[in-house]
């Protein structure tokens, strides 16, 4: 479909392969109904819309669905139903929404392996998990987004890693580096999972969501965090335009591109591999 959106008073067109006008209208209706349900938090409205789109539009770029469909509809619809500033509300709610989306997407894939994935909503939950890792005093209490645990006995779940979740790598991913380093030193799995959202509007851009990782030929600083410096246990990107790592990298850590509609994807497979390895220790 061709999405027409207003930016600074001008109308621009965005080509969104893999989603039809009918599907766009359906998610528009879904979000309107969700906003009317006062018991639903904003993060739940975002999460439910995104997961519905992933299931309904398997040929679309997941990052585009988040960036050009859910975000733009959210900013358009929120003021009609709730007295909140849409841009400020998106900043507050979308991070939690993406973490919940990651949990709900992968929980059924990991459950047969007796692996539990948990979004850490709120500082108390984050702090508790970091203390469980013995990192409570070493890193800040907002530097982990999702916990990974495996069942090691009846009703006993042991943490073996955590995921740093970012819609956009503009979200100061460097702030997560100290926590990731500390986790990896303790043998804990510490991947970066991202939608790698980034586009530029006219006149300087064309609104195509190319992300921020560059290419192997023209790497960005954020690509070097992974490929050169190994600050995370790989980077998993759900942007179909992300350029994955090719061959060996200096750090042996890699950028991998995900297709969220085909599970288990490479992220889920690595979580399972790490969990099995942890059990053998």
Task: Check whether residue 119 and residue 78 sit in a common domain.
Answer: no
Task: Check whether residue 222 and residue 127 sit in a common domain.
Answer: yes
Task: Check whether residue 79 and residue 211 sit in a common domain.
Answer: no
Residue 102 lies inside a defined structural domain of this protein: no
Residue 27 lies inside a defined structural domain of this protein: yes
Q: Which pLDDT score is estimated for 12?
A: 87
Task: Check whether residue 66 and residue 131 sit in a common domain.
Answer: no
- Per the structure, the count of domains in the chain is 2
Residue 104 lies inside a defined structural domain of this protein: no
Task: Check whether residue 70 and residue 116 sit in a common domain.
Answer: no
CA–CA distances in Å: residue 68 to residues 50, 85, 161 = 11, 19, 31
Q: CA 149, CA 115: separation in Å to the nearest integer?
A: 6
Task: Check whether residue 56 and residue 168 sit in a common domain.
Answer: no
* Boundaries of domain holding 259: 109-280
Report the predicted TM-score, pTM, of the whole model to 2 decimal places. 0.96
Task: Check whether residue 116 and residue 49 sit in a common domain.
Answer: no
Q: Which pLDDT score is estimated for 90?
A: 97
Q: Would you say 257 and 242 are in contact if contact means Cβ atoms under 8 Å apart? A: yes
Q: CA 50, CA 102: separation in Å to the nearest integer?
A: 11
Domain end point (choices 91, 126, 155): 91
Q: pLDDT tens, position by position, for the chain (281 residues)?
A: 999 888 777 888 999 999 999 999 999 999 999 999 999 999 999 999 999 999 999 999 999 999 999 999 999 999 999 999 999 999 999 999 999 999 999 999 999 999 999 999 999 999 999 999 998 777 766 679 999 999 987 778 999 999 999 999 976 788 899 999 999 999 999 999 999 999 998 888 899 999 999 999 999 999 999 999 999 999 999 999 999 999 999 999 999 999 999 999 999 999 999 999 999 88
Task: Check whether residue 247 and residue 130 sit in a common domain.
Answer: yes
Task: Check whether residue 139 and residue 258 sit in a common domain.
Answer: yes
Q: Which pLDDT score is estimated for 5?
A: 85
Residue 100 lies inside a defined structural domain of this protein: no
Q: CA 114, CA 131: separation in Å to the nearest integer?
A: 23
Task: Check whether residue 76 and residue 124 sit in a common domain.
Answer: no
DSSP lists the bridge partners of residue 67 as none
Domain end point (choices 42, 65, 91): 91
What's 99-159 look like in SS3? HHHHHHHHHHHHHHHCEEEEECCCHHHHHHHHHHCCCCCCCCCCCCCEEEEEEEECCEEEE
Task: Check whether residue 43 and residue 121 sit in a common domain.
Answer: no
Task: Check whether residue 162 and residue 228 sit in a common domain.
Answer: yes
Residue 216 lies inside a defined structural domain of this protein: yes
Q: Which pLDDT score is estimated for 141?
A: 65
Domain end point (choices 91, 123, 138): 91
């Amino acid at each position: 479909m061709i999405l027409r959106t207003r930016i600074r008073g001008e109308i621009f067109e965005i080509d969104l392969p893999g989603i039809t006008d009918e599907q766009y209208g359906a998610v528009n209706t879904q979000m309107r109904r969700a906003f009317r349900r006062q018991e639903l938090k904003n993060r739940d409205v975002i999460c439910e819309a995104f997961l519905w789109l992933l299931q309904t539009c398997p040929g679309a770029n997941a990052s585009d669905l988040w960036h050009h469909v859910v975000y733009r509809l959210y900013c358009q619809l929120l003021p009609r139903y709730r007295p909140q500033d849409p841009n400020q509300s998106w900043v507050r709610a979308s991070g939690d929404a993406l973490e919940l989306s990651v949990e709900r997407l992968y929980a059924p894939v990991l459950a047969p392996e007796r692996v539990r994935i948990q979004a850490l909503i709120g500082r108390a939950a984050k702090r508790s998990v970091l203390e469980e890792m013995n990192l409570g005093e070493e890193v800040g209490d907002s530097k982990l987004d999702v916990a990974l645990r495996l069942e090691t006995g009846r009703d006993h779940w042991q943490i073996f890693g955590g995921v740093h979740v970012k819609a956009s790598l503009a979200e100061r991913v460097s702030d997560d580096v100290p926590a990731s380093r500390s986790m990896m030193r303790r043998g804990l799995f510490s991947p970066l999972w991202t939608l790698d959202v980034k586009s530029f509007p006219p006149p300087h851009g064309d609104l195509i969501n190319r992300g921020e990782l560059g290419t192997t030929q023209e790497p960005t600083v954020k690509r070097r965090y992974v490929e050169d410096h190994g600050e995370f246990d790989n980077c998993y990107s759900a942007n179909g335009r992300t350029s994955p790592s090719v061959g060996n990298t200096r750090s042996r850590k890699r950028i991998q591109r995900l297709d969220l509609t085909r599970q288990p994807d490479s992220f889920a497979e690595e979580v399972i591999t790490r969990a099995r390895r942890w059990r053998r220790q």
